Amino acid sequence: MLQTGLAARLAARTGALAHPTSGLAPSYLQANLVVLPARHAADFRLLCARNPVPCPLLAESQHPGSATALRSHLAATGVTGATLAADIDLRRDAPRYRVYRDGELVAEKADVAAEWADDHVGFLIGCSYSFEAALAAAGLAPRHVVQQRNVAMYRTAVPLAPAGVFTGATVVVSMRPYRPEHVGRVREVTRPFGATHGEPLAWGWEALAQLGIGDLARPEWGDVCLTGDGRRAFCRDDSEGFVPVFWGCGVTPQEAVMRAGLEGTVMGHAPGHMIVLDVRDHEVFPGLVGSGEVAEVER
């Protein structure tokens, strides 16, 4: 089994791993990948710095063109590029990639070795898998995890703070349904995960208006998880009384890049097919106990 970040990366690199990485190598940090021409790197870095909740930047290529060495953006926590992933190849270590040319999706493939150019800069962005394990450990497993579905994701009307060429984008959120009396605990459990979206952006039915989300039953990505009357979807007991809880989502920076309509070749991982790193949650998030074990889940 693929129990470490390195095992997952090597499997992806050799073509042995081609499916989504959810559940792989528990407690090892997983990352979204965005690859841009170097001339847009400064603007993208600024976009992440100005919007750290939906766009938590973990690391980037050591220098333009480098696919095998990382420069850490978590220096304040003592996590270096080599700690994040010592043996890494950004061109091959995601199980699946998407390639865009002049803003159009042109290919989905197992590696991007042929597309990677001397001026490409890879960016790794935090992913919510980390706090989902912590929620499960607290007896608050997200519904989609229990049901082995994709988390529901929505475009909001909340403007992203622009940065250079990256203008006009809005925040994308993921949604997990909880009972109102559990929201306080859910906020506490996810709060320490600053590099992977942290505590929720909004919760309760009033959050729909605050965020500008029209219809819970129509997520832009992922599976429907909660109906408008507080019933959870795909739910045997059909129980009521749940409210939506929204977090910043790592799809946000990809959306911002697509919306910028950049010329040239832009790449990223295929949704759900993340790059798994060497660091574990408790090394990045001080104060967490080092465990990826999942305790009894909420049913």
Does 202 contact a copy of itself by CB under 8 A?
A: yes
- Which of the residues 246 through 265 are near a copy of itself (CB under 8 A)? 248
Q: Which of 60, 111, 115, 199 binds a copy of itself (CB under 8 A)?
A: 199
Instruction: Quickly list DSSP for the chain.
Output: ---SHHHHHHHHHTTS--S--TTSSTTEEEEEEEEEEGGGHHHHHHHHHH-TTT--EEEEESSTT-SS-EEES-GGGT--HHHH-SS--TTTSSS-EEEEETTEEEEEES--TTT--TTEEEEEEE-THHHHHHHHHTT---HHHHTT-PPEEEEEEEEPPPBTTB-S-EEEEEEEEE-GGGHHHHHHHHTT-GGGT-S-SEESTHHHHHHT---TT--SBS---B-TTSPBSS-TT-----EEEEEE-THHHHHHHHHHT-SSEEEEEPTT-PEEEEEEHHHHSTT--S-----PPP-
Number of chain positions touching a copy of itself (CB under 8 A):
23
In whole angstroms, the minimum distance from the beta carbon of 3 to a copy of itself comes to: 33
Q: Which of 211, 249, 257, 294 binds a copy of itself (CB under 8 A)?
A: 211
Does 164 contact a copy of itself by CB under 8 A?
A: yes
Q: Which range in 19-27, 48-56, 249-257, 258-266 contacts a copy of itself by CB under 8 A?
A: 48-56
Q: Which range in 63-71, 84-92, 142-150, 191-199 contacts a copy of itself by CB under 8 A?
A: 191-199
Select 205 or 234, whichever has its Cβ closest to a copy of itself. Answer: 205
Does 286 contact a copy of itself by CB under 8 A?
A: no
Does 284 contact a copy of itself by CB under 8 A?
A: no
Contact footprint for a copy of itself (CB under 8 A): 46, 49-50, 52-53, 157-159, 161-164, 187, 191, 194, 198-202, 210-211, 248
